[in-house]
Structure 1
Amino acid sequence: MLSGLFPYPDKPSIFIGGMPSDRKLELAELVHFPLGKVPVGYRGVPLIAGWLSHVDCLPLVESAKAKMADWKGRILSYVERMQLIKSVLQGGYIFWTGLFGLPARTIWNLESLFSHFL
């Protein structure tokens, strides 16, 4: 109240670091937000410290699989499939690679999915 700042009412959880567990709970009760658990994602990208594991990259793989499943029912030429891979699927892959280094297993998995779709 002294700072004039107010918490956003729709905030789903609070993340607290560097405190004992009992103090974290007290603070969470004070502000009326549940304690959040890490890893958490922001716009589909996991927010973690350190290197990503293959499990951390599963949302990327699942997203690519879902997009390809939507396109499977359509009659697409080789060129159209190639264009979808280059513009849509590899866009997400390159975005994640620019943020972190992807594990080799994830890269192999994505490339395998792309070639199978093609």
Structure 2
Amino acid sequence: MTGLNSKYIENEINTWLEDINQAIEEIKLFLPEKRNYLEFEKDLKGKRAIERSLEIIGEAVSRILKAKADFPVTNVKKIVDTRNIISYGYDSVSDAVVWGIIVRDLDKLQAEVKNLLNE
């Protein structure tokens, strides 16, 4: 790989990392003010917006993995799998699973992404 090609790939990866960070920030904005599962479950527009942001995150991670197979982020396969379920198995998307991702995984992912952006 030439230096120029390597620099191009690095720039692309940084763009995708920024996309991931932006999608996470948007998810936080889309959450109901009263952050609990029952409020989330009632908010159809919020749920759809969050699902779309999760798709963006999964697509960005997928693109990064194609450029750099050893991408150092936790649960990369689960992130891509979630994107695929939302995109292709829309009828099997579980509110509980999406909520679990929000409360359990997003802050960690955002910290890892910000770390990579600051390198």
Q: TM-score, normalised by structure 2?
A: 0.31
Q: Which one has more relative contact order, counting CA pairs under 8 Å at least 6 apart?
A: 2
Indicate the structure (1 or 2) with the bigger Cα radius of gyration: 1
The structure that is strand-richer by fraction is 1
